[in-house]
Amino acid sequence: MTNPTPQTMGQQFGRRSWAEPWKIKMVEPLRMVSRDERERALVEAGYNTFLLRSDDVYIDLLTDSGTSAMSDRQWAGMMIGDESYAGSRNFYHLEDAVQRRYGFRHILPTHQGRGAENLISQVAIKAGQFVPGNMYFTTTRLHQELAGGHFVDVIIDEAHDPEDLHEFKGNVDLAKLQALIDREGAEQIAYVSLAGTVNMAGGQPVSMANIRAVRELCTRHGIRLFLDATRLVENSFFIQEREAGFAERSIAEILLEFCSYADGAWMSAKKDNLVNIGGWLAVNEDDLFEELRNLVVVYEGLHTYGGLAGRDMEALAIGIDESVQDDHVRSRIGQVRYLGELLTDWGIPIVQPVGGHAIFLDARRFYPHIPQDEFPAQTVAAELYLDSGIRSMERGIASAGRNATTGDHNRPKLELTRLTIPRRVYTQAHMDVVAESVKAVYDVRESTRGLRMTYEPKYLRFFQARFERL
Ligand SMILES: Cc1ncc(COP(=O)(O)O)c(C=O)c1O
């Protein structure tokens, strides 16, 4: 694979400059927090950025989940919410939007992505079965495990190397998948769990050629293929940009083709779909849908609202249509890339190539003197907050949790700190501030010490764990 030359969006159009394809109608003032306040807030939060109050944060790059700015059309949609308990007209708008844009037959709303993950895991996994996937995601794997499944990582090796420049680092390694099927038998595989882009690998895409090949393998062995559609629109941008034959096709067309190879998908609509809360589950098989439609009543709500208000479903239906517009996606990924280019120019170690939704600082190279058991990525997040009030998050040993059998830490190869860019929220000037703060923290890296975990919750520990300085 060739090394994709990073380009800001303006350069892609043959010019130096580019601008966001929106103008600002309402502003939310930001609070500057003093160094003393930040020191106090960080200790109170146990050095965990998830435990900071947002009032103590200046630029919030914790996540791109539920943090998007909605458009004037989405806000207008909120006003035509039909809050009937059953059969809300907004549900039918949502159903229509998912069917048109993603191409699946049956749709259920859920309160967010993990609600959908719970349902599909309970219905499609039998205890003891294996669930191969292109790198784990925290909530996805947990639901698969709670349903009695064993997650098996079948992503290509390049995905675990932050310096490898493979253009589609989210791809499944077909030999690894075949070996698992040969070893365990096809009937022991619950389904293949394919995410695009791959969050934990640094927002890395899956190619169209790869999903076609995975589909072919699954069909040959009678195995279902389900997508984590959370950032599939962003995945479609990378296919358009990098894969031969797709440059002239719209992101919307690419998305539809990608989904046509899957049997269904779960979605955290809080990302690509531009809403602050919501999710959905979609499948093609009638029998499977019937089971899911029954189960949704237990965990989420009736199948025509699934935990969402009518107004939320309307904003989501409109957000889906806005999210697949080429201009929007180019500018969104362009902003991420702009920040990545600044950091790369200054020699700061980040995951390459820059992915879709975030810059991932490579904490192993950032703090080579801090061993993984002293939480280098958590340390980067703490130091960045101290320097400027910018909030990022850990994606390393704390996020990886413990091995269910041995009880020891899972030690992922990737030890990363994520600077996640909300959609349509910050300007390029904010990205300059972020880049300069990262550089300031990097410049004093040698004198920085790691952390010790002082409190560890049982599930998804990174959300609520507490630390202190060594
Ligand atoms: C790839 C991926 N899948 C699933 C989820 C879970 O979705 P939610 O946070 O809406 O429950 C997330 C959210 O962070 C995600 O990034």
Ligand 1 neighbour 376 (Cβ under 6 A): no
- The answer to whether 138 is a known catalytic residue is yes
Ligand 1 neighbour 199 (Cβ under 6 A): yes
**Distance (Å, whole) CA 44 – CA 56:** 11
- The answer to whether 228 is a known catalytic residue is yes
Provide the pLDDT confidence category of residue 1 given band limits of 50, 70 and 90: very low
Tell how far the Cα of 230 is from the centroid of ligand 1, in angstroms: 7
Tell how far the Cα of 26 is from the centroid of ligand 1, in angstroms: 28
**Range from 16-25, 89-98, 134-143, 258-267 carrying the lowest mean pLDDT:** 16-25
Query: What phi and psi values does residue 356 have, to the nearest 5 degrees?
Result: -90, -40
Name residue 394's beta-bridge partners.
417
User: According to the per-residue pLDDT averaged within each range, which of 17-21, 235-239, 409-413, 458-462 is highest?
Assistant: 235-239
- Helix 232-242 vs helix 251-260: crossing angle, to nearest 10: 110
Q: In whole angstroms, how large is the CA radius of gyration of the chain?
A: 21
Q: Which of 47, 91, 137, 367 is catalytic?
A: 137
The token duo for 391 is: 């909030």
Tell how far the Cα of 65 is from the centroid of ligand 1, in angstroms: 8
Tell how far the Cα of 141 is from the centroid of ligand 1, in angstroms: 11
Q: What percent of the chain has pLDDT over 70?
A: 96
Of 118 and 200, more confident: 118
- The answer to whether 462 is a known catalytic residue is yes
The token duo for 32 is: 């500057």
Ligand 1 neighbour 114 (Cβ under 6 A): yes
Task: Using the atom order of ligand 1, give the atom closest to the CA of residue 112.
Answer: 10
Tell how far the Cα of 113 is from the centroid of ligand 1, in angstroms: 5
**Distance (Å, whole) CA 168 – CA 247:** 16
Strands (E), 244-363: 264-268, 279-283, 358-362
- Judged against a pLDDT cut of 50, whether residue 177 lies above it is answered with yes
pLDDT at 21: 86
Q: Which of 13, 85, 455, 459 is catalytic?
A: 85
pLDDT at 26: 94
**Distance (Å, whole) CA 101 – CA 324:** 8
Residue with the two structure tokens 């709303």: 109
Ligand 1 neighbour 62 (Cβ under 6 A): no
Query: Going by CA atoms, what residue is nearest to atom 6 of ligand 1?
Result: 113
Share in percent of the chain as helix, strand, coil (round to 5): 45, 15, 40
User: Would residue 87 be called left, alpha or beta, if left means φ above 0 and alpha means ψ between -120 and 50 degrees?
Assistant: left
Question: Which residue in 116, 153, 195, 134 sits closest to 356, CA to CA?
Answer: 195
pLDDT at 370: 98
**203-240 pLDDT, tens digit each:** 999 999 999 999 999 999 999 999 999 999 999 999 99
Q: pTM of the entire structure?
A: 0.94
Q: Which of 395, 418, 423, 424 is catalytic?
A: 395
The rounded mean pLDDT for the chain is 95
**297-317 pLDDT, tens digit each:** 999 999 999 999 999 999 999
The token duo for 141 is: 């794997």
Ligand 1 neighbour 118 (Cβ under 6 A): no
List Cα–Cα distances, 37 to 30, 40, 52, 182, 330, in angstroms. Answer: 15, 5, 12, 57, 37
Q: Which of 56, 64, 173, 228 is catalytic?
A: 228
**323-357 pLDDT, tens digit each:** 999 999 999 999 999 999 999 999 999 999 999 99
Sign of CA dihedral 92, 95, 99, 101: positive
